[in-house]
Structure 1
Amino acid sequence: MRKNPVATKAPAEQVVKDIRRAMRKLHSSEEKIRIVLSGLRGEDSIAELCRKEGIAQSLYYSWSKDFLEAGKKRLAGDTARQASTGEV
């Protein structure tokens, strides 16, 4: 009698999810700014830039949107921020 393949599949799927989660690259804010500015320069297409950097195009566009929104707030004079404990 064969075991149910669904019952043995669940732990394997969890292992794959754990491996993918551990392999995610965390980009620093400086790297994000560099990538977005490179895309705004327009020297390469966004698809080519994302392929070189190893990121999804949707991730690039969300970073770009965040970057431009932050700039818009800064230019509007909305510079209020919370002081960190090191600054106090």
Structure 2
Amino acid sequence: MRQKPGTKQSHGEKVVKDIRRATRKQYSAEEKIRIVLDGLKGEDSIAELCRREGIAQSLYYSWSKEFLEAGKKRLAGDTARAATSTEVKDLRREARDLKEVVAEQALELRLLKKSMIGDGGDDE
């Protein structure tokens, strides 16, 4: 299936490659941590662990490096982190709700001011 440089890929090979790319398993952060911790335990070899999990050893080692670097930064006091997509969605929803409350209160305040001006000027 591998092609030499300069040769054209057939339509069938392109379709297969696209399907493999689309059906590639996406691992959550928790799954990555579990796999790296299993490797650090040393109960099984890294090759056996990767075979069992269906990942390449290079992928395991890159996850392991990221995991250890993140731990090092955390222990060094660098606590800044990127927000997860669910956190961002929750914050956006909360901001929208707060904006609605502010808009409602501003409208009520404007109506109260108009009623006070209307009442105060028509005493005669």
Task: Tell me the amino acid that sits aligned with residue 15 of structure 2.
Answer: V
For residues 2-81 of structure 1, what are the structure 2 equivalents within 5 Å? 10-81=10-81
Distance in 1 of aligned mates of 2:81 and 2:27? 23
- Give the whole-Å Cα distance in 2 for the aligned partners of 1:81 and 1:20: 32
Runs of 4+ in 1 over 2 A off after TM superposition: 80-85
Instruction: Say what the alpha-carbon RMSD is for the aligned residues.
Output: 2.2
Distance 1:82 1:42 in 2: 30
Measured in 2, the distance between the counterparts of 1:81 and 1:19 equals: 34
Count of aligned positions: 82
Bigger relative CO (Cα 8 Å, ≥ 6 apart)? 1
State the alpha-carbon separation in 1 of the partners of residues 26 and 52 from structure 2.
16
More helix by percentage: 2
The whole-number CA distance in structure 2 between the counterparts of 1:54 and 1:82 is: 28
How many Å apart are 1:82 and its aligned residue?
A: 5.4
* Mapped partners of 2:53, 2:82: distance in 1: 33
Give deviations 1:12-69, integer Å, cap 9, x for gaps: 1210111111221000000000000000000000000001111100000000000000
Shift of 1:81: 3.5
Structure 1 counterpart of 2:57, one-letter code: Q
> Where does structure 2 lack aligned partners over 5 or more consecutive residues?
1-6, 96-124
Evaluate the alpha carbon distance shift between residue 33 and residue 81 of structure 1 in structure 2; reply closer, same or farther with a 3 A threshold: closer
What is the rounded CA distance, in whole Å, between the counterparts of 1:61 and 1:25 in structure 2? 17
Taking structure 1 as the reference length, what is the TM-score of the superposition?
0.81
Point out the structure with max Rg over C-alpha: 2
User: In structure 1, how many angstroms separate the alpha carbons of the residues matched to 2:82 and 2:27?
Assistant: 23
Counterpart-to-counterpart distance in 2, 1:65 and 1:11: 38
